[in-house]
Amino acid sequence: MIRSYNAKMIYNLYIFDKTGKLLFYTEWNRFKQSGMSRNEEGKLMYGMLFSLKNFVTKISPYDMKQGFLCFKTNKYALHFMETPSGLKFVLNTDISAQKVREILQQLYNNVYVNYVTRNPIHNLQDSIKSELFKSKLNSFMKQTHIYLSK
């Protein structure tokens, strides 16, 4: 696969419910698999986020409002958003991506609420299998400023 290393990119998205169940996973660009099943990977990711949240509230010099927002390594950035109902959105992008939080908020408001919460035959505890949600999510991501396929 040929690609330029400085390209703006969205890697993948995880959605967890408040109990830590992986409701939804999708990837646009992923160049390394973690070497475990999706379910296991979800558990590891949730475990990391759970500990990070704990870590962050303890080490913070002041009382927090939103808490943990994102972290960056030298290769990727992980952005995190939690709704008041405990639903967690995790989006991995390249490190140069800006204002990803707003995208996550829009994703929740415009895509998740419209096509998952308002779906009468969907049970909120179940993983999301709706094709409509998938396609709307895809088109939503493709029109964001950080999306660029290789």
Partner 1 sequence: MIVYSVYIVSKSGGLIFNYDHTVSKVEVEQTFSYPLEFKLVNENKRVIVSFGQRDGIIVGHVLMSVNGISLTGQQLDDGKDVFEVLENSENYPVSLKFGRPKMTTNEKIFLASMFYPLFAIASQLSPEPKSSGIEILETDTFKLHCFQTLTGVKFMVVAEPTDIKLDVLLNRIYELYADYVLKNPFYSLEMPIRCELFDQNLQLLLEQVEKSGLANI
Site residues (vs partner 1, CB under 8 A): 11-12, 27, 29-32, 34, 41, 44-45, 47-48, 51-52, 54-56, 58-76, 78, 92
Q: Smallest distance, Å, CB 32 to partner 1?
A: 4
Q: In angstroms, give the least distance from the CB of 98 to partner 1.
A: 10
Residue 15 or 78: the one with the smaller Cβ distance to partner 1 is 78
- Which residue's CB is nearer to partner 1, number 48 or number 113? 48
DSSP state of 32: -
Bridge partners (DSSP) of residue 12 are 27, 92
**Which residue number, 61 or 120, has a Cβ lying nearer to partner 1?**
61
Q: Coil, strand, or helix at residue 77?
A: strand
Three-state secondary structure call for residue 133: helix
Cβ closest to partner 1, residue 31 vs residue 102:
31
Closest approach, Cβ 53 to partner 1, in A, equals: 9
Whole-number Cα distances in Å, 44 to 11, 20, 52, 88, 130:
18, 10, 12, 14, 25
Where is 10: in which H helix or E strand? strand 10-16
The distance of closest approach from Cβ of residue 121 to partner 1 in the complex, given in angstroms and rounded to an integer, is 32
Length of the chain, please? 150
